[in-house]
Amino acid sequence: MSIHKLSLCELQKKFSAGEVSAAEIVRAYALRIGQVEPKVKAFVTQVTDAASAQAEALDRHLKGWRKTKPLTGMPLAIKDNLCTEGVATTCSSRMLQHFVPPYDATVVAKLREQDYILLGKTNLDEFAMGSSTENSAFGPSRNPWDLHRVPGGSSGGSAAAVAADECVAALGSDTGGSIRQPAAFCGVVGLKPTYGRVSRYGLVAFASSLDQVGPITKDVRDAAFLLNVIAGHDPMDSTSADRPVPDYMKALAKKDLKKVRVGVPREFFAEGLDPDVAHAVTAAIEELKQLGAEIKEIQLPRTDAAVAVYYVLATAEASSNLARFDGVKFGLRAKETKDLLDLYMKTRQEGFGPEVKRRIMLGTYVLSAGYYDAYYGKAQAVRTLVCQDFDEAFKEVDVIVTPATPTPAFKLGEKSEDPLQMYLSDIFTISVNLAGLPAIALPCGLSRGGLPIGMQLIGRAFEEETILRAAHAYEQATEWHVKKPVVR
């Protein structure tokens, strides 16, 4: 099998056994990127020359000694809102087009300690605000399954790169579904860990109480493998949880789901769900039952309020976080300005795209005097009720299963003129972020048009092992994860 088609665990096994060198790995991926990247456009920045030099140095250093760290020599891609020392971090925005960070994000530093190989930074919706990667200042990425369709967002570039075999795995960030939705659209696995499980230090903030970094991989085993490396407490992140990190690979040992209670919320199978998605997820639930799981219908009654709550809270936090981009400290600075106020206004007008401006204005509005209590305060109260719904549900079940998205991937431009319809693309993922819970999206079928369909598994806080076990058992009993797109 070609090197670029191997999973992370398969490639790591071959490398540690000395069957393939780091230089051979990078050459294989550089060739693959050269073949498909002009069509997929997953990357904002490529560093394959630096990767080749690093791989050759790594091979010289090893000199046949193969007792390596888990990610040594593994070629990964990083979403372009995670800081990488010496490599541009643009957030797919003109505001940061030439910004080169002087430090690594904590997750990147952990990968670097393991001698991973960076292939490049992947495209995203500007400042992670979007569901299609169409909001990037550098143009949209495309879905490898159908180049006329979106790969999802905001981590669309990372998901597209993994699906097109342009990297062995990637990191993304998830604020309201930005790992799971593109993973579902591209037929790969996307894991959003519990809020606080993975450090956010060095992640350019969108909504600080919702953002979380996680892996996008070819299969569930790879997701557990990568989470083992990036999870853990970080004193540089005040929201990082100081809790022991289990060995997630051990959670995959059990092949069945006996004694696992799986909840199916009726609210997620209501009107508006695409028939192909409904059929695929229903069949997946039946497969979970065949694996020994106890299936139980549950209720999450505040699901309908989640989108409204999210877009009040997320935009409010975005308004605050993006205030730092003012043309003074770093990033873009407008020229020929009359005074400081003119500098602020012109810099933000030139530097931000339409969607970012829309969210900043909405967030500023809900935080303004006279509206704070009516909107922001009320949204925080409803967020508490959403959390309580999950608390009640998890008294009865261990895992909750839902569709990852209401439809398969939609066409480029199809929803770009209707922000509300675009926002509803994340309707099944948003409530998980509001509650800070772990969730995983994995392939569970194909539409009649041949597009991937994703299933979402949600677990209790800090119980990633449970959803990984359930996802892996399902994956081993089916073949959806081995189906790959042909990039034409």
> Are 387 and 254 within 8 A, CB to CB?
no
Q: Is 484 a catalytic residue?
A: no
Beta strands in 384-438 (DSSP E): 399-403
pLDDT digits (tens, 9 = 90+) for 218-261: 999 999 999 999 999 999 999 999 999 999 999 999 889 999 99
Is 42 exposed, middle or buried, given 0-12, 13-18 or 19+ CB atoms closer than 10 A?
A: buried
* b (16+ CB within 10 A) / e for 387-405: bebbeebbeebbbbbbbbb
Confidence class for position 64, pLDDT limits 50, 70, 90: low
The C-alpha angle 88, 91, 95, rounded to 5 degrees, equals: 85
Q: Where in the chain is the domain with CATH 3.90.1300.10?
A: 3-263+396-482
Share of the chain above pLDDT 70, in %: 99
What are 401's strand-pairing partners? 457
Confidence class for position 65, pLDDT limits 50, 70, 90: low
Is 276 exposed, middle or buried, given 0-12, 13-18 or 19+ CB atoms closer than 10 A?
A: middle
Q: How many CB atoms lie within 10 A of CB 259?
A: 10
pLDDT score at 211: 98
Q: Can you tell me the distance from the alpha carbon of 166 to that of 28, in angstroms, rounded to the nearest whole number?
A: 9
Q: What is the mean pLDDT of residues 201-224?
A: 98
Is 349 exposed, middle or buried, given 0-12, 13-18 or 19+ CB atoms closer than 10 A?
A: exposed
Q: Can you tell me the distance from the alpha carbon of 350 to that of 426, in angstroms, rounded to the nearest whole number?
A: 28
Q: What is the mean pLDDT of residues 69-84?
A: 97
Find the catalytic residue in 154, 199, 319, 416: 154
Range with the lowest mean pLDDT among 1-15, 65-79, 215-229, 399-413? 65-79
Find the catalytic residue in 41, 79, 192, 218: 79
pLDDT digits (tens, 9 = 90+) for 96-119: 999 999 999 999 999 999 999 999
**pLDDT over 80 at 313, yes or no:** yes
Q: Shortest CA distance to 442 belongs to which of 149, 267, 216?
A: 216
Q: Which residue has the higher pLDDT, 118 or 304?
A: 118
Q: Is 178 a catalytic residue?
A: yes
Q: Is 154 a catalytic residue?
A: yes
Cut 0.85: pTM above it: yes
Tokens 């860990």 correspond to what residue?
A: 193
- Judged by DSSP in three states, 315 sits in helix
pLDDT score at 66: 67
pLDDT digits (tens, 9 = 90+) for 429-487: 999 999 999 999 999 999 999 999 999 999 999 999 999 999 999 999 999 999 999 99
User: Which residues, 6+ apart, have CB-to-CB distance to 435 below 8 Å?
Assistant: 386, 387, 390
Q: Can you tell me the distance from the alpha carbon of 423 to that of 262, in angstroms, rounded to the nearest whole number?
A: 28
Q: What is the mean pLDDT of residues 60-66?
A: 77
Which two structure tokens, joined as six digits, stand for 326? 């003012």
Looking at residue 10, its amino acid is E
Mean pLDDT for all residues in the chain: 96
Confidence class for position 1, pLDDT limits 50, 70, 90: low
pLDDT digits (tens, 9 = 90+) for 400-429: 999 999 999 999 999 988 887 888 889 999
**pLDDT over 80 at 123, yes or no:** yes
Find the catalytic residue in 92, 136, 141, 178: 178
> Are 434 and 386 within 8 A, CB to CB?
yes
Looking at residue 375, its amino acid is Y
> Are 482 and 311 within 8 A, CB to CB?
no
DSSP characters over 227-292? HHHHBS--TT-TT--------GGGGG---S-TT-EEEEEGGGGSTT--HHHHHHHHHHHHHHHHTT
pLDDT score at 270: 83
What is the DSSP secondary structure assignment for residue 204, as one 8-state letter?
P
Instruction: Give the class (CATH, top level) of 3-263+396-482.
Output: alpha beta
Looking at residue 153, its amino acid is G
Q: Shortest CA distance to 212 belongs to which of 189, 196, 190, 234?
A: 196
Looking at residue 47, its amino acid is V
